[in-house]
Amino acid sequence: MPPTFSITTDLAGQKEDAARLFPAFAAAGFQAVHWCQDWTGQPVFYDEAIARNVARLAGECGLRVADVHAFSGTRPEGPPWTDELFEAINRNRAEFAARVGAEVLVLHLPAMPTPEPAEAARRAVADVGRLLPACRELSVRLAIENLAGPAHTPALFDALFEAFAPDELGFCYDSGHALLTDEPGLIARYADRLAATHLHDNDGWADQHRPPGEGVADWPMILGTIKRSRYAGTVNLEVHLPPDEDLAAFCKRIRTDLAERWGAA
């Protein structure tokens, strides 16, 4: 069965208009989107009217909103990051996901000032535990994304996946972040927990969100692992639009390349 190819909505910035993006995605052959607007910076709460509009725009273009990015925190000028804000805004994101028909909410764990393994695991389990009641209620599966920070080790994910059942907590594999932590094999280690994908490339030194093949990632390994797994979600690109490239042409180029790589994997 061929995969569903998806693309994140923040490729041209978190405030880019979906009414411009969605037609370009659909025309390029993408079948789904990963909603990735307003995931950091000043907290933005979505009401029902926003969800209806996003669902309408997607439907008119023949796209499915497959996943939604949770809110991950604030920049230094933002309000203080508290457990209460974390829980409230990500409950809102889970509600938005349910309203637009998305099945997965992808979470960046709040920044951890210390990479000490036991403390990082304790805090991660507590943070996930705060969000799971809302996700259960709304039938949205939570997925933890691997980040580039020192706390995001296999030990952290092992602790999380020991604490929570697979139907409640999955794994979002971010290929670019895995390069920066020298852990490209995370996708194979947690293939049975795979719930979402953030696929992009870089030079191994910075989080550049380049298309596959424009960095050092091992795409035959990554795509081959996804193919061999039981993963039924989207094959999703999390790339950035170069400032000198046309949106429609860029989308067509990367969609064609992804399909060719998938076929060869």
How wide is the angle at C-alpha 120 spanned by C-alphas 119 and 122, nearest 5°? 60
Helix (H, G, I), strand (E, B) or coil at 184: coil
CB 36 within 8 A of CB 71: no
The tokens describing 150, both together, are 């020192």
Complete domains list, the chain, with CATH: 5-264 (3.20.20.150)
Give the separation between CA 172 and CA 102, rounded to whole angstroms: 15
Give the separation between CA 101 and CA 90, rounded to whole angstroms: 16
How wide is the angle at C-alpha 194 spanned by C-alphas 61 and 41, nearest 5°? 65
Helix (H, G, I), strand (E, B) or coil at 111: coil
State residue 83's pLDDT score: 84
Query: In tens digits, what is the pLDDT along the chain, a chain of 265 residues?
Result: 789 999 999 999 999 999 999 999 999 999 999 999 999 888 899 999 999 999 999 999 999 999 999 998 655 455 666 888 889 999 999 999 999 999 999 999 877 766 688 888 998 999 999 999 999 999 999 999 999 988 889 999 999 999 999 999 999 999 999 999 999 999 999 999 999 999 999 999 999 999 999 999 999 999 999 999 999 999 999 999 999 999 999 999 999 999 999 999 9
The tokens describing 118, both together, are 């036991």
Residues 6+ apart with CB under 8 A from 119: 112
Q: Which residue has the tokens 């061929």?
A: 2
State residue 82's pLDDT score: 82
How wide is the angle at C-alpha 77 spanned by C-alphas 71 and 78, nearest 5°? 35
pTM of the model: 0.96
The tokens describing 206, both together, are 């910075």
Give the separation between CA 259 and CA 262, rounded to whole angstroms: 5
